[in-house]
Structures are given as structure tokens and as C-alpha cells.
Structure 1
Amino acid sequence: MGTENLPRTIEMVEHDGGALAARIVDQRVLPRSLGYRNLTTCGDMVEAIKTLALRGAPAIGIGGAAALALYAANESTAADGTALLNELEDVAKFVASARPTAVNLSWGVKRALGVARSAGSRGVSAADVLDELAADVRAMIAEDEAANRAIGAHGAALLGRDCRILTHCNAGSLATAFYGTALGVVYAASEQGKVAMVYADETRPVGQGSRLTAWELGQAGVPCTLICDNMAASIMAAGKVDAVVVGADRICANGDTANKIGTYGLAVLAKHHGVPFYIAAPTSTVDAVLSAGSQIPIEQRDATEVASFVPDGVCVFNPAFDVTPANLITAIVTERGVFEPESITQALG
């Protein structure tokens, strides 16, 4: 067993007589079944991102770029590249607003828009703009896998033999095109025989750890123990955790990092118990424009994710992410190497 048993999260395919489609793993139905959806419109992609059918910062970055390609392929009536570009400028704003915290979404949209602008400036046809958009999405998919494998190699070098790793949410293959960021580190270390156990937080309220991470690790044959979020302190106190490895949705210039709600608490626990706390993320997650975590927009999710029934007069607070200060992070692992949090902008070259 190994990562070859994991599905490709997002691919560009032909659908219904040659129409362009984005084929995604529908993560809402895991772990009970492995299901796929073919998305053919920009609206389909935005709905998939908002409802978490497609999730994970790197994956939704690719999805954002794919949304523009799908619009160009299946919705636009523009006769030339300039007219199509004008339409895509508005489409890009719509797509980028689907989820505010993960900077990869706007990064992917901006990259696709840049491709369209470059093609449009050459006076090419709408069909040529589409071809270039689709080709670049496929390039992004390949680049993402390569980056994840590099992250895995750099991160595995930080871990010792018989390592016991705690992770939160899902920063695995399902959160990327393939292989994963935090779980990319796990997979690379496992291939080197270093992993004794992975503790997967269930990750309330949506359960990305219990539904997705545990499923992935099982598919790949990596030893895994699923725990409730509130058990992390106990297993750290018992000396059962050698490292915490998590992903990221946005990293500020000073190293402050937004990730799934509950990550900040884990970082505090790790600091108290002397356990190294690593962030694993591609450089596309670094937002050098924001100087500190207080500037990161935090997505507020629907109350029904927390409880299906809420008594009258009771409010529900459901932020999807929290911010971990740089001083609680041991190191940030990227495809370009390992960096101290305060030096993360050096990874941008």
C-alpha cells in the first residue's frame, strides 16, 4: 500500500462529447464512498468550493483557475480574445470571493487572469485564450504535485525514527492536486520507515480529520489513530507526540499563519509540552502583502455545521479558521526548503 492508492483530487477532462470539465473528488461523501463530480461551469466550481466538495488551500487555488477555463469553454459567447478577457475580469471577482481566508484561491484566479490577459494582448481568438487557460490549469496541477513532493522531502528530514505525529484537519492529498502538504511530510517520512503513528484530530465541527485524513492514511497504509480534538493535550502530556505537522491557508509576511480552527490551540499545547510545531505549505500560500495575522479575513461558516438544532435565543460562533502566531511555530516547510517563520518571505525568492 502507499500513495498510489489515493485518488487525484482535481483533473481537467473531456465531458459529453468533448466539452471541457473539471473532474473532482466530492469530499462531502467521504469516507462512506469515493465519488466524483464533473464540473462544467464557473458556477459549478464556486458551488463546489463553497460547500466543501472541493476544499484545501492548494486544491481550491487550482479550482479557481479552472473556473475561469470552464467559463471560457462552456459559457462565454465572446467571438474574440479581447471580448472574452473583458468577461473574465468580472468572472474572476466572483470566483475569488467564494472563500476569503485561503489566499491560494485568489492566487489561482490571478494566475489564470494573467494568462488570459497575456493571450488577449496578442490579439488571439477566444478559442486560443481557452486553450492557454486549460493548458495552464493542467500545468498548475503538475506543479502542485511536484511542490508537495518537495515539501514532503524537506519535512521528512526534520523527523526522527519511529516518529509519532499529530495532525489537524486535512492537509493531505485531498487538499491538493495530489500527495499533500502536511500529509506529504507524513507520506515521505513513511516511505523512509520513520512513522510509528499518526494521531489525526477529528477536527470539529466539519470533521475533516475523521472523514478525510483518517481515510487517506488508511488508504495509504500509514498507521493512524483517530482522536477527538480535546484529547490532544492528554496524549502530548503522556509523551506520545514527537511532532505536530499541519497545513496552512494563509501565511503572513511575519510568519503568522491561518489554518483550520483549533490549530492555534494545538500550537499552544505543543509549546507547553516542548513538541516541535511545523507548518507545511507551498509558497503560493504566503501572502507577503499582509504583515500580520490580525489582517487575515476569517471565514464565518453556517451555524448548522456546529449543531443541527440550536435552541431559541442561542447564538452560534463558527469561524472556519484561527491564526497561530509566528512565535509558536517551530518552522515552515515549503517546496523551497525549511524557513523560520519570521523569514518566510525569503521563500518567495
Structure 2
Amino acid sequence: MSLKDDLAALSADSVSGAAELLQKAATIALKYAETVPAGEIAEGLLSARPDMASVINLALEIKKHAGMTGVAEITWAFLHEHRKSFARAVNETSKLLESGMKVLTYSRSSTVLAALLEASSRGKSFSVYLTEGRPGMEGINLARELSNVGISVVIGPDSALAGFLKECDVVIIGADAVGPEYFYNKTGTLGLALLSKALEKPLYLSVSRDKLLTQEGISYYHVREMPGEEIISPVPEGVTVFNRYFEAVPVGLVTRMVGL
């Protein structure tokens, strides 16, 4: 495969969590570190995933330091810091979980998944409530991953989210990007956050530091319009399809950012 092919695959990935997408972006950078100019690698990553803060931050590090340090060294250093921050977020999030809890999560955050697995490995028994996560259906994938290790799962359609929230003790979600005023996560998170506030349910955001957007990073970040055919195919004449995977949510709706 070529750099163009690898970037296209990264761009099309609608299932992996942000931490997994960072790993895939880093793999691309390392693969072409000796054969493709650093600027081309960085611009390719920025174009492929303008909706993932960790990928943006890696690309900007490559652009900033490529004249002084090789792409491979920059990438390994970035991954090293990410793994430390990821482990901290997972550890702190897992401590929020107690036996008997009903936990609601939305979409599929690899950080939240790791925290749930960590808490379960420590002998904590809890139930996780999920919705399917259309159009990518990543909630179904998460349900399988959790049930495979014996974690109790309740899953329903996305329309069940409000009802599930009433049943649950806590909401724990991840984020794809965190700015000064807003964080970005799967579309539907804004409604979940607003209702959590209204029902006085704690909402925790489990994130590693590489999700933080710098002022420069904010200028590159944008939410992509995805194919309408993922919602209705073929798209009827005269119908406009809204299909954005991510939306902005005020950070003021979050009880606590865990891991920062």
C-alpha cells in the first residue's frame, strides 16, 4: 500500500476509538519516516483526520520539529507521552467504578473500554448500559468486547439513551478533542450531557492529554460531513442528510475531566 492508501484507510475508519486512531496514524508516520518528507506526512495526517485532536497534535509535532529531529524519533516520543497519559486516565477512571453500579457510556471510547476492563479485573462487578451508536454501530462492537470478558451489558437503540440515563448511576464517556470551551464527541453527546445535568447524574470525561487542542490545533480541527448514504440509500431527491459523526459539547456540562 502507498501513503495515499494508508491515509485513505485512516480517514475512512469510523469504528476505532481516538487512542486507536492515534496508534494507526503513528504507524503510518513510522512506516514512511525514511522515504517521505516530514511535511508531506504531517499534511497527510491533518487531512485524513481533522476531527481527531491526538492525530492533529502528532502531525503538528512532526511539522514543528522535523528539521531538528527525525519523524520516527518525534513519533516515538509522542507515543511515549500518550501511553503515560492514557494509563493515568484509565487508572483514575477505573477508580470511579464500584460494584453494583449501573454505568452509561456512549459510542466506543478506547480509554473508557480500558477503564471498564481494568475495574472488572480488580473484581468489581457492574453493569454497562450502551446504545447501538448509529450509523457506525460502535456501541454493538463495544457490547461484544465487554460481554466477552464477562461484564454485564444492557444495549438498546439510540432512542433509549434518555431512559437508560434515568436507570444509571453515572455517565462515563471519552472525547475526540477537548478545547477551552467545548469538547467534541459522537453526535448525541450534547443531548446526553444536557439531560445528565438536568437529572443531576454525574458525567465524567475520560481523556488523555493528547486530546487537548492547542490554539494552533483548533485552527486545523473541523467536523467532517460524512456520506448521506450511510443514513438513507439512495438519498431521495430533495432530501438533505445530516451525517456528522461529532458535535461540540460545553465543558461546563462535565462533572470532571478524568486523567488530565
Task: State TM-score, norm by structure 2.
Answer: 0.88
What is the distance in 1 between the residues matched to 2:217 and 2:80? 30
2:60 is matched with which residue?
110
What is the distance in 2 between the residues matched to 1:113 and 1:41? 21
Shift of 1:203: 0.9
2:222 is matched with which residue?
297
The answer to whether the Cα contact below 8 Å between 1:198 and 1:224 also exists between their aligned partners in 2 is yes
1:214 is matched with which residue?
143
Identity %: 26
SS of the residue corresponding to residue 67 of structure 2 reads helix
1:211-241: CA deviation from partner (whole Å, max 9, x where unpaired): x21122123322112221111211233xx20
C-alpha spacing 1:145/1:88, structure 2 compared with 1 (3 Å): closer
Say whether 1:46 aligns with 2:3: no
Shift of 1:300: 1.2
What is the distance in 2 between the residues matched to 1:257 and 1:326? 6
The AA in structure 2 aligned to 1:157 is K
The answer to whether the Cα contact below 8 Å between 2:174 and 2:207 also exists between their aligned partners in 1 is yes
C-alpha spacing 1:53/1:323, structure 2 compared with 1 (3 Å): closer
2:244 is matched with which residue?
319
Say whether 1:199 aligns with 2:160: no
1:229 is matched with which residue?
158
1:56 is matched with which residue?
17
Aligned length: 260
The answer to whether the Cα contact below 8 Å between 1:61 and 1:107 also exists between their aligned partners in 2 is no
Of 187, 203, 206 in structure 2, the residue corresponding to residue 277 of structure 1 is 203
Say whether 1:249 aligns with 2:179: no
Shift of 1:139: 5.8
What is the distance in 2 between the residues matched to 1:144 and 1:41? 26
| CA RMSD across the alignment | 2.7
51-60 vs 309-318, greater mean Cα deviation: 51-60
What is the distance in 1 between the residues matched to 2:17 and 2:79? 14
Of 234, 240, 248 in structure 2, the residue corresponding to residue 309 of structure 1 is 234
Say whether 1:101 aligns with 2:51: yes
C-alpha spacing 1:114/1:288, structure 2 compared with 1 (3 Å): closer
SS of the residue corresponding to residue 108 of structure 2 reads coil
The answer to whether the Cα contact below 8 Å between 2:105 and 2:130 also exists between their aligned partners in 1 is yes
The answer to whether the Cα contact below 8 Å between 1:41 and 1:70 also exists between their aligned partners in 2 is no
1:315-341: CA deviation from partner (whole Å, max 9, x where unpaired): 10111101111221111111xxxxxxx
What is the distance in 1 between the residues matched to 2:82 and 2:117? 16
Q: Specify which structure has the bigger relative contact order, considering alpha-carbon pairs within 8 angstroms and separated by 6 or more residues.
A: 2
2:38 is matched with which residue?
88
C-alpha spacing 1:145/1:225, structure 2 compared with 1 (3 Å): farther
The answer to whether the Cα contact below 8 Å between 1:46 and 1:98 also exists between their aligned partners in 2 is yes
What is the distance in 1 between the residues matched to 2:214 and 2:59? 17
C-alpha spacing 1:54/1:242, structure 2 compared with 1 (3 Å): closer
The answer to whether the Cα contact below 8 Å between 1:264 and 1:322 also exists between their aligned partners in 2 is yes
Shift of 1:158: 2.5
What is the distance in 1 between the residues matched to 2:235 and 2:224? 20
C-alpha spacing 1:232/1:290, structure 2 compared with 1 (3 Å): farther
Say whether 1:332 aligns with 2:221: no
C-alpha spacing 1:290/1:263, structure 2 compared with 1 (3 Å): farther
Of 28, 35, 41 in structure 2, the residue corresponding to residue 67 of structure 1 is 28
Structure-to-structure mapping, 1:10-21, within 5 angstroms: none
C-alpha spacing 1:290/1:325, structure 2 compared with 1 (3 Å): farther
Structure-to-structure mapping, 1:180-195, within 5 angstroms: 181-195=111-125
Say whether 1:149 aligns with 2:92: no
What is the distance in 1 between the residues matched to 2:59 and 2:201? 37
Shift of 1:115: 5.7
1:18 is matched with which residue?
none
The answer to whether the Cα contact below 8 Å between 1:246 and 1:278 also exists between their aligned partners in 2 is yes
What is the distance in 2 between the residues matched to 1:54 and 1:111? 25
The answer to whether the Cα contact below 8 Å between 2:56 and 2:217 also exists between their aligned partners in 1 is no
The answer to whether the Cα contact below 8 Å between 2:193 and 2:203 also exists between their aligned partners in 1 is yes
Shift of 1:250: 0.8
What is the distance in 1 between the residues matched to 2:15 and 2:59? 15
List gaps (5 residues or longer) in structure 1. Answer: 1-39, 77-83, 120-128, 173-180, 335-346
The answer to whether the Cα contact below 8 Å between 1:48 and 1:54 also exists between their aligned partners in 2 is no
Shift of 1:188: 2.3
Task: State TM-score, norm by structure 1.
Answer: 0.67
List gaps (5 residues or longer) in structure 2. Answer: none
